[in-house]
Structure 1
């Protein structure tokens, strides 16, 4: 085959121009990519610093930071492939279809994700709080996007889905900072009511862990067929609550025995 020198020259010139043009696009695209990666890291540090200075919840700070990073990464990727000359409209359509398919297949996970958002925004509890929810009483260890991690009193780890957690009843024992114990002591009808009340109240006032304000309460709660029931209600901080309940039960029993007051089996009410 005979090659025309002019045609060869035209082809070489044409492809050289294409190569130069695409090389410039390639170089500029990678410049945008590397500059964008550095800019995303810088923006993330600045935004995180601002949220920390504004005393936002650490869980909310991390969550918003992660969303920001991924949104900027997606935007950078689309800009990068667009700069390379790749059509982005079809790519965006494919992403939309994939997002719809994933959304339909992960409805339960999306419900947990939405529940996590509600928990993070409205803060019915925070890390370190002791709560009762979904039949579990435990201390919140970590609030994740889909589940909340809690540690029970016997050191068991419980993961509760955020969807059911945010839609159910939550009792937060730590939010107010103080708790009131509601104990019941039952004495026989042969006992002196006034003396029993004085003995029980003295036990509470002598315990340094029992708060003075609000003041502890002792009063007749009920008259049953077999006993006189006294309500014994000391207040304590969340940290001292368990020891106050234990001390009150033990010290009241000892004090009533020393006073010669016969007690009946008691019950503890939440």
Structure 2
């Protein structure tokens, strides 16, 4: 009996060792990361940690990430990592996890996006040198769709453009949440003169993301001439900018 227990412990140790040193790319594939919209150019390391290069979520290039395993999550038959990320459009830190049953989580995240590197934004925003920041305790996707999200969003895009937009603009803020299957990241602000800006970015693991910015309230006459040049189109008494643009908004 004692000999049998020794053999069982040895086999268990061998199995754990084999899994622990399994290539990181194999672990990601077994966990179904590809089926949930994630892809990568290279994944170096093992279950214990490593580096992912050329990471994409759907069609969006995220960049490179460094991972370090939190071993306790193996007891939940998942893999959770402390991560640091940097890419063409920003950088961030937090914890990322993949679990059976189609669940992907990001916890305790703090992520910064550089407007100058994000395609689809109005040119004057990209040239502002501004950024967007999101941070919070949890974002969860299940089977590629947003299931639960908590966090806040902030941006200094308007405060850096007061020469163009006029004075009295506060920092843009918003509350992150799920909008159907997508992750919704809103940014809102109103100037001292009553001009309001509402921006909503949508992020999906399965589709290309989108963004809509709406300017409403008191819109000065010079704004009404300048906004169409910046890509905004009239929408009732407001002006709206969409990316990708609706078919009717595409210039011939």
TM-score tier (shorter): under 0.3
Larger radius of gyration: 1
Instruction: Looking at secondary structure, tell me which structure has more helix per residue.
Output: 1
The structure with higher relative contact order (CA 8 Å, sep 6+) is 1
TM-score, length basis structure 2: 0.27
